[in-house]
């Protein structure tokens, strides 16, 4: 009896020790998994922080420190030679400065004559033209009279696009051809006819095909460097003027792509 009881006690001890070891190993495994998850979370947060920093620096520098190239080279270009008055030809269809104001102002309402406007997307209504307005930043140009006689037209901004993004390669001889012309009839009509009435409508109808050629060669088949790529062409042209004609952001895309890759790599380990 005593031997049997002794054996039973030893077995119980061994089972208890085995359970304690397994339990300890399981706790260590859980602790290790938690530590690994925390490391992945820290890596993920760090990469997101770096990504946010690069995006912030790029946007901040574009908005605050970019400035247009000197206007001296404007004289080398004929402003009117790229304006199209008649319906677009087959080749066109398929070809697819004022000093900065350092005085801080809260909005266009603080200016005596408001801000300069660019007009687009004209639609004929009952006796008048409806249209969309895009505002030119007052850091670039400020109206000097009630009729905004010194404000730039859309034709002028398209011309400036051609100047600022000019290429040594003739777009007609390029691999992907020229960017598509920009229809400027709406802006042209509202500037020539100060009153928005039936006379303005008639003038707009007579100049429906008034357009301005983009002389920049496409860098790819979709024309991702053209003003009509992705968003409304007038918006892109005004945006470029307001922000000092920023350089293409291919490098930013590369940085973002690399950071996402590193993020994925860190989480998959």
Whether pLDDT at 265 is above 50: yes
pTM: 0.59
pLDDT above 50: residue 256: yes
Q: Is pLDDT at 20 greater than 90 in this prediction?
A: no
More confident site: 80 or 231: 231
As given in the structure block, the two tokens for residue 157 are 């901004």
The predicted structure's pLDDT at residue 243:
93
Band (pLDDT 50/70/90 cuts) for residue 48 is confident
pLDDT of 23 reads 60
Q: Is the pLDDT of residue 68 over 70?
A: no
Strand order in the sheet with 83-84: 83-84, 211-212, 182-183
Residue 231 has what pLDDT?
75
Using pLDDT thresholds of 50, 70 and 90, give the confidence band for residue 179.
Answer: very high
Q: What is the 3-state secondary structure (H, E, C) of the chain?
A: CHHHHHHHHHHHHHHHHHHHHHHHHHHHHHHHHHHHHHHHHHHHHHHHHHHHHHHHHHHHHHHHCCCCCCHHHHHHCCCCCCEECCCCCHHHHHCCCCCCCCCCCCCHHHCCCCCCEEEEEEEECCCCEEEEEEECCCCCCCCCCCCCCCCCCHHHHHHHHHHHCCCCCCHHHCCCCECCCEECHHHHHHHHCCCCCHHHHHHHHHCCCCEECCCCECCCCCCCCCCCCCCCHHHHHHHHHHCCCCCCCHHHHHHHHHHHHHHHHHHHC
pLDDT beyond 50 at 175: yes
As a whole number of angstroms, the distance between CA 250 and CA 259 comes to 14
Q: How confident is the model at residue 64 (pLDDT cuts 50, 70, 90)?
A: very low
The 10s digit of each residue's pLDDT in 222-241 is: 998 999 887 789 999 999 99
pLDDT of 230: 77
Residue 164 has pLDDT above 50, yes or no: yes
Q: Is the pLDDT of residue 13 over 70?
A: no
* Least confident residue range of 44-53, 113-122, 163-172: 44-53
The whole-number average pLDDT for the span 19-35 is 58
Instruction: Give the model's pLDDT for residue 99.
Output: 44
pLDDT of residue 70: 34
pLDDT digits (tens, 9 = 90+) for 93-124: 444 444 444 445 468 988 999 999 999 999 99
């Amino acid at each position: 009896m005593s031997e049997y009881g002794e054996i039973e006690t030893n077995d119980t001890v061994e089972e208890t020790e085995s359970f304690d070891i397994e339990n300890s190993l399981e706790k260590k495994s859980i602790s290790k998994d938690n530590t690994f998850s925390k490391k992945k979370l820290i890596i993920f947060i760090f990469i997101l922080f770096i990504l946010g920093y690069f995006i912030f620096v790029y946007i901040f520098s574009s908005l605050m420190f970019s400035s247009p190239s000197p206007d001296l080279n404007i004289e080398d270009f004929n402003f009117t030679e790229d304006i199209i008055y008649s319906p677009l030809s087959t080749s066109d269809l398929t070809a697819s400065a004022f000093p900065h104001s350092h005085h801080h102002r809260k909005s266009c309402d603080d200016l005596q004559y408001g801000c300069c406007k660019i007009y687009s997307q004209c639609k004929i209504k009952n006796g008048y033209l409806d249209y969309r307005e895009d505002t030119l930043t007052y850091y670039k140009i400020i109206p000097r009279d009630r009729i905004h006689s010194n404000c730039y037209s859309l034709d002028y901004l398209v011309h400036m696009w051609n100047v600022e993004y000019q290429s040594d390669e003739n777009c007609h001889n390029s691999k992907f051809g020229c960017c598509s012309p920009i229809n400027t009839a709406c802006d042209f009509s509202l500037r020539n006819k100060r009153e928005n009435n039936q006379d303005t409508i008639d003038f707009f109808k007579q100049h429906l095909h008034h357009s301005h050629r983009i002389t920049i060669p496409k860098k790819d088949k979709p024309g991702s460097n053209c003003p009509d790529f992705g968003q409304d062409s007038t918006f892109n042209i005004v945006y470029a003027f307001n922000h000092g004609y920023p350089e293409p952001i291919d490098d930013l895309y590369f940085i973002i792509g690399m950071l996402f890759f590193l993020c994925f790599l860190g989480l998959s380990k």
